[in-house]
Amino acid sequence: MALDTTTDRPGAIEAAGVEYLPERARDSSPGNLCAVFLGANLTWTNVVFGAFAILFGLSFWQTLTSMAVGTAIGTLAVLPTAVIGPRTGTNMTVSSGAFFGIRGRFIGSFLALAIALGFAAVTVWTSGDALVAAAHRIFALPETNVVRGIGYAIVAALMVTVALYGHATIVAMQKIVVPVVGALMVAGVFAFAAGFSPGASSGEYALGSFWPTWTLCAVLFAAAPVSYGPTIGDYTRRISPIRFSDKQISLALGAGMFVGVLLPSMFGAYTALSFTNPTDSYLDDLVTAAPAWYVLPIVVISVLGGLSQGVLCIYASGLDLEGLAPQLKRTQTTIITAAVAIALLYVGVFVFDAVGSVTAMTVVLNAVITPWVAVLAVGALRSRTVGYDPVDLQAFAHGRRGGRYWFTRGWNIPAVAAWAAGSLFGVLAVNTTLYVGPLADIAAGVDLSTVGSAVLAVVVYLVVGAALGHRGEQSAMGQPLVEIA
């Protein structure tokens, strides 16, 4: 049954899941898309990544070049996928079946779940820690594990509540987050100006020398746009490809991603260099060094910034799990994935070293999601003039085999082989302070896990496709290949 647009309005629980959305339900716009990804990035997660670069030994200007290059690479990697959702009318992981196959799309679903759950945990950790540090300064509350646990629970509860309401409520929230948090971060520049020292650094590079450390930081900055790759379709699926052009949609996504990551990352690096006696906890140092008038803005950024990114992660994870378990409703899968994310958070913070865990998790996840995004980007570019079959894309939910995207028993071999090869290389080439892959030294310690995994995936995708006579590509481009097995 066709969905009515009234099911998607702020304050009402969204009725739609990952099923096909008809044209009359496409009530969003490129402006909404830009606001969503701009707001989602104005959070402590990206601020902390900027501070990490300083902690790892880079100066402010070195950090600035690293974040500009990394963010640009990550944004360009996902840009071609902006037009997939408007054409398929569903989220990105279900849409990936057009390139990976009806069963092959499970790769994207599992990757998207891992990314969403991991970053949801990181978001709650950073926002919760900032809240606790602010409460300690304002109310003299002790910074114990119990208090931290309560702070995490508050942020998580707010995050899950908004995610349950769904798309329209998330968009409305982001339109509040962008001006408020953006203005407060600009105010922070003045708050910490007195102690800012652009030429300073820790004097010791985390990976022993400049280029490996600079590249590690660039990979961290690239991870933010790339990590959103599986969630882009959650918002573009509600944009009409009839009323808006591919260029409008792509530019809106690119602006939201690039500016959204760059601004908070710069804020993190800027403030990290203003601390007189820095410790291992950036957020504690931020609250301690802040003038009294800026402590309350830190609380506001913690709540709104945490919501803005965490909500996207939890909402996406609910849709992805629904794609794997279509018998469940989106609200049910959202609650399940939220519980898992919160459990991961408590284990990561209270059992393992948070900074090392976050860095390693981010880089490793980036190494396996990048080749998947690369395959989608190539597929989208090659399918620009060809429509998608929304009925066949929903074959798994309907319990059907065969159809346009069935390929070889549900798997498109060139795409799956490309992702596997790229991911294997990426994981083996990772170079972090916690985990060093066996191929980490192939470029004198420079981390090639992200760029290398993407390039290898594209090459394998094209070569294997050519070797198989473009069998899979022809099926995806409108020549039905039905194989019942």
Using alpha carbons only, what angle is made at residue 3 by residues 238 and 33, rounded to the nearest 5 degrees? Answer: 10
Residue written as tokens 């003038």? 291
Kindly list the domain boundaries of the chain, sorted by start residue. 32-367
Q: What is the pLDDT of residue 383?
A: 81
Q: Is 59:272 a contact under the CB 8 Å cutoff?
A: no
pLDDT tens readout for residues 62-78: 999 999 999 999 999 99
Residues 6+ apart with CB under 8 A from 222: 70, 71, 73, 74, 77, 366, 450
Q: Is 462:390 a contact under the CB 8 Å cutoff?
A: no
SS3 assignment, position 323: helix
Per DSSP, the residues of 260-320 read HHHHHHHHHHHHHTT-SS--S-HHHHHHHHS-GGGHHHHHHHHHHHHHHHHHHHHHHHHHH
For the chain, percent of residues with pLDDT exceeding 70: 91
Q: What is the pLDDT of residue 380?
A: 92
Fold of the domain spanning 32-367: Hydantoin permease (1.10.4160)
Residues lower than pLDDT 70 in the chain: 1-7, 200-203, 348-360, 385, 433-434, 469-485
User: Can you tell me the distance from the alpha carbon of 6 to that of 17, in angstroms, rounded to the nearest whole number?
Assistant: 15
User: Can you tell me the distance from the alpha carbon of 122 to that of 40, in angstroms, rounded to the nearest whole number?
Assistant: 13
Q: Is 299:134 a contact under the CB 8 Å cutoff?
A: yes
Q: What is the pLDDT of residue 201?
A: 67
SS3 assignment, position 431: strand
- For 431, phi and psi rounded to 5 degrees? -140, 100
